[in-house]
A and B are shown apart, each in its own frame.
Chain A
Amino acid sequence: MRFAFEDRQVEFRDQLRSFTEKECTAAEVRAAWDSELGWSPDRWAAMAELGLLGLTVPEDLGGFGFGFLDLVLLLEEAGRSGLPEPLLETVGLAVPLLLDLPGPEADGLRAEVLPRVAIGESVLTVGLSSMVAVPAAAGADLLLLEDAGELHAVAPAETRLIPRPSIDGARRPARVDWDPTPDTLLASAAESAPVLARLADRAAVGTGALLLGVADRLIASAAAYATDRHQFGVPIGSFQAVKHQLADALVRLEFARPVVYRAAWSLDSAEPAVSRHASMAKAYAAEAALGAARTALQVHGAIGYTWEHDLQLWMKKAWALSTAWGDAADHRARVLEALLAEAAGPG
């Protein structure tokens, strides 16, 4: 039992942090909101140079062949900085999904696509037929889409995108209209089922990790504001009503962290209870981020209620990500079902 990250994983996170502190300031996040794509191809290229985009790509295809434990702190940092690029969709979801696919057809696609992902020349996303809108659909070079339980690889030219703008202006979900054909088919429904289950788990842990970062940012901003802002001749952070709200928000965040990290370990370790761990991660992180958003706004008062103040950039991420890939109550229901099944034992 050693529940800690390796030095290498922490160093990589620190490297991304120095990068985002320069290249992904709040002003940059706002610029992304105002851009056509919702994110910056230049920053994507720089992320490829940092080695971020090949993280989950196997070594023989030009990447590092790392797992979710290597990614989870980076996603957290992406949430903290508000990084608008589709890191989760491409590196955390689409690449591992391609790797999970059985069969020689998939080998061909992997050999073609993954080296390009690693050098930043191919952006991927994933979508399910149950989704109202697919995240990061605009700007994707290849869409991995589910229809009737089957997985398909669809080129943007074969799709029609109807943008469904999000409250988080850096997310660009879109409804994707497309026609499944034998040419687009990647895997039968039977082959796809376990792959889709893994996808759901990774999506829950990945959004959970982003939400940890979002919550961290919100709490840090509110604590800093509470120290600066004076009323009644004293900093507002000296009032217990303010202190106690922030302390509660911090407790929620600090207890969500190990829950998310454990789920990342379970993803990499073929742990039998991985789906329950993933749902717990999403449920916990969503509550932490929603609570942090509520508290941060209250601590800021009216200034936090403005378009001009940067607080909105992170509050809106908290709201959008907390319902993406299943909200907290959905995931709690799954946790309960799994716990009852575990307690009943096999058979």
Chain B
Amino acid sequence: MDLRFTPEQDAFRAEVRAWLEANVPSEAKGTGPLPSLDTAEGFAAHRVWEQAMFDARLSVVSWPEEFGGRGAGLLEWLIFEEEYYRAQAPTRVGQNGIFLLAPTIFEFGTPEQQARYLPAMASAREVWCQGWSEPDAGSDLAGIRSRATRKGPEGEGGSWVLSGQKTWASRGAFADWCFGLFRTDPTAERHRGMTYFLIPMDAPGVTVRPIAQLDGETGFAEIFFEDVEVPDDQVLGEVGKGWSVAMATTNSERGLSLRSPARFTEAAGRLLALYAEQALLDPVAAGRSADAVARAAMDAEAYQLNTYWTVTRVLGGTPVGPEASMNKLHWSETDLAIHRCALDLLGPEAELLDADGRPGPWLDGFLFALAGPIYAGTNEIQRNVVAERVLGLPRS
């Protein structure tokens, strides 16, 4: 065991830090903060930022060089993330593609698909949204009803015609592409007969209806498919194997990649600073939150330690299994605890909106944290997975 980074890793950290300090849009530089991601203007501004990171080869450090990465390891990826959050850099507009779809393309995509989709994703020239949930298929994802029917010859050169409805697709309002599951064999048993499709959002027959979230902004969308024709080379993995292809992405969503520990350690650092400030103003009131602050800070650090523990195992060749569900439970609860605690410290100020009518950072973070126990498989579903697949309890 050695919990220190190597000199090469320290040098990488220094490079990332210096680049971010020079480039992160900020008020001081007169370049930021960027407008909200959930507006056309903000979406465009976030693309420009991603392109700048891509040009510095920092947008996907752990990807192979041929797709725009640096071929760096998981530890370097964690270092990058720590620096990214430390620098308070913009939310990553391309994250659903980079973190949820890319691992699947690496595993199941043809070389042509990898070359076609990955570099464009890494530079945010093409931003992806995830089209899994449907009005009647949430936790029970295998209950999806959107269909794809065969058109043209079997084998090469044919296409599929998609119809149905997806919902809650994050970034769906402005995304360029959608990855989603559709039923290709309506007669098959429910976990079979699904296929994983890549669909351009400007294809004829695609209609998007943005949905306002708790903060009033259109962070997700419904997507309607009316006879949308999709060629064979936009099928990811085998026809009929969509479920197992899709499950590969859920593991990365819950486990290592979607929620890197830096997000929580950075928020915990801000919570400590807030506590220190409030303790100067009113030590008695702040003192009542002391234990909650300590717990929240410890939970964030424990998540970081657990991630290093897991990454060491993964680097040693052991894949992340159902314990990814434990990570999801821990980070989502931690995120809520940090933000709830900050609002308590702010007291009567907590409810107040900014001058422009927007929630301030803590309220905004709280609203976002509230979604954590719902998306990426609800926490109830995760507890079922932990109980059945880790502890071996009998299925209900």
A335 near B297 with CB under 8 A, answer yes
Q: Mark B1-36, 1 if CB is under 8 A from A, else 0.
A: 111111001000000000000000000000000000
Flag A275-312 by CB within 8 Å of B: 1 or 0 each: 00000100110000000000000000000000000000
> Which residues of B (380-396) have their CB < 8 Å from a CB of A?
380, 382-384, 386-388, 390-396
The docked-state distance in angstroms from the alpha carbon of A315 to that of B275 is 36
Asked if B387 and A5 sit within 8 Å, CB to CB, the answer is no
B384 surroundings in chain A (CB, below 8 A)? 240, 243-244, 247
Nearest residue, chain A, Cβ from B308: A3
Q: Which of A326-346 contact B (CB under 8 A)?
A: 329, 332-333, 335-336, 339-340, 343-344
- A66 touches B (CB below 8 Å): no
Task: Please classify the interface of chain B as helix (H, G, I), strand (E, B), loop, or mixed, using the class held by over half of its residues.
Answer: helix
Query: Within 8 Å CB of B380, what residues of A?
Result: 240, 244
Cβ–Cβ contact B309 & A258, under 8 A: yes
Taking the closest CB of chain B, its distance from the CB of A292, in whole angstroms, is 12
Bound form: Cα–Cα A284–B393 in Å: 25
What string of 1s and 0s marks CB contacts (under 8 Å) between B282-301 and chain A? Answer: 00000000110111011101
Candidate in B312, B316, B326, B387 with the most chain A CB atoms within 10 angstroms: B387
Question: How many residues of chain B have a CB within 8 Å of chain A?
Answer: 50
Contacts of B316 in A (CB 8 A): 4
Question: In the docked arrangement, what's the CA distance between A266 and B384, Å?
Answer: 35
Say whether B272 faces chain A, with CB atoms less than 8 Å apart. yes
Chain A positions within 8 Å of B305 at CB level: 3, 258-259, 262
Q: Is A110 an interface residue (CB 8 A)?
A: no
B1 contacts A335, C-beta separation under 8 Å: no
In the complex, whether B126 has a CB less than 8 A from a CB of chain A is no
Does A248 sit within 8 A of B, measured CB to CB?
yes
- A329 close to B291 (CB less than 8 A): yes
The answer, yes or no, to whether B313 is at the interface (CB within 8 Å) is yes
Total number of residue pairs linking A and B with CB closer than 8 Å: 147
B383 contacts A244, C-beta separation under 8 Å: yes
B393 touches A1 (CB 8 A): no
Report the minimum CB–CB distance from B9 to chain A (whole Å). Answer: 7
Number of interface residues of A (CB under 8 A): 48
* B386 and chain A: residue at smallest CB distance: A247
Q: Are A332 and B295 in contact (CB under 8 A)?
A: yes
Contact with B along A57-76 (1 / 0, CB 8 A): 00000000000010000000
Cα distance, A259 to B326, chains bound together (Å): 16
Q: Which of A22-30, A193-201, A231-239 contacts B (4 or more CB under 8 A)?
A: A231-239
In Å, the complex CA distance between A226 and B291 comes to 34
> Given the complex of chains A and B, what is the CA–CA distance between A241 and B3 in angstroms?
39
From known contacts A243-B384, A258-B306, infer whether A223 and B298 are also in contact, taking CB-CB under 8 Å.
Answer: no
Q: Judge whether B297 and A336 touch: CB under 8 Å.
A: yes
| Set B3, B5, B323, B387: member contacting A262, Cβ < 8 A | B3
**27 pairs of residues in contact across A and B, judged by CB atoms under 8 Å:** A1-B3, A1-B5, A1-B6, A1-B9, A2-B1, A2-B2, A3-B305, A3-B308, A5-B1, A227-B392, A237-B394, A243-B384, A243-B391, A244-B380, A244-B383, A246-B387, A247-B382, A247-B386, A248-B383, A254-B306, A255-B299, A256-B302, A258-B309, A261-B1, A332-B291, A335-B294, A336-B290
Given contact pairs A258-B302, A336-B297, a sample of 12 additional A-B residue pairs in the complex whose CB atoms are under 8 Å apart: A1-B3, A1-B5, A3-B309, A4-B1, A227-B392, A242-B393, A247-B329, A256-B302, A258-B308, A259-B298, A265-B2, A336-B290
**Chain B contacts to A: CB under 8 angstroms:** 1-6, 9, 75, 269, 272-273, 275-276, 290-291, 293-295, 297-299, 301-303, 305-306, 308-309, 311-313, 316, 323, 326, 329-330, 380, 382-384, 386-388, 390-396
6 closest cross-chain pairs (CB), A and B = A243-B387, A247-B386, A237-B393, A332-B294, A247-B383, A336-B294
Binding site for B on A (CB under 8 A): 1-6, 69, 219, 223, 226-227, 234-235, 237-240, 242-244, 246-248, 250-251, 254-259, 261-262, 265-266, 269, 280, 283-284, 329, 332-333, 335-336, 339-340, 343-344
